[in-house]
């Protein structure tokens, strides 16, 4: 049965963007490949899920989220790693603050933020790129289904 708005346990389909204050997109899902999840299944972190409650299909929302809300947790120093510059493609422009996607051996992708540049190595922070940062969450609810 179709629901009128998002509730805990709803099956939800959304188009979304997580953006830095400068407009750089950190993560997104478009209308052609929306994010599908059940509210409460931890696909989205709780701090983002809560903002969707009560929204209906077709609704768009934009949330300015403060770093002090700890939506993505707190910074973990053990997730800051030093990598040799030669591990990066020659044509890649390395800049502090730039978010880079890394492919893991298992096929997964992980994001890292360049946080230090040195002669022979690069420091990369593998904490979620939005830990400790203000950011914007833009969302459009595509569909909501509830079972009764």
Span 3-52, pLDDT tens digits = 589 999 999 999 999 998 888 898 899 999 999 999 999 898 989 999 99
Tell me the CATH number of domain 11-72+131-145, given options 3.10.50.40, 3.60.20.10, 3.20.20.140, 3.40.50.300: 3.10.50.40
Is the model's pLDDT at 146 over the cut of 90?
no
- Cα dihedral 100→137→141→45 (10° resolution): 80
| Domain range list for the chain | 11-72+131-145, 77-125
DSSP 2: B
77-125, what's its fold?
Answer: Thrombin, subunit H (2.40.10)
Is the model's pLDDT at 2 over the cut of 60?
no
* pTM for the full predicted model: 0.74
């Amino acid at each position: 049965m179709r629901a009128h708005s998002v509730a805990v346990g709803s099956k939800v389909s959304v188009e979304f963007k997580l953006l830095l204050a400068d407009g750089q997109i950190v993560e997104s899902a478009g209308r052609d490949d929306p994010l599908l999840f059940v509210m409460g299944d931890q696909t989205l972190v709780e701090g983002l899920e809560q903002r969707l409650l009560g929204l209906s299909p077709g609704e768009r929302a934009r949330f300015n989220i403060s770093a002090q809300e700890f939506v993505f947790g707190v910074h973990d120093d053990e997730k800051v790693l030093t990598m040799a510059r030669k591990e990066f493609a020659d044509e890649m422009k390395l800049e502090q603050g730039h978010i880079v996607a890394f492919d893991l051996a298992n096929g997964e992708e992980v994001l890292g933020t360049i946080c230090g540049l040195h002669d022979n190595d690069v420091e990369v922070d593998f904490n979620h790129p939005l830990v400790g940062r203000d950011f914007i969450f833009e969302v459009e609810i595509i569909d909501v289904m509830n079972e009764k």
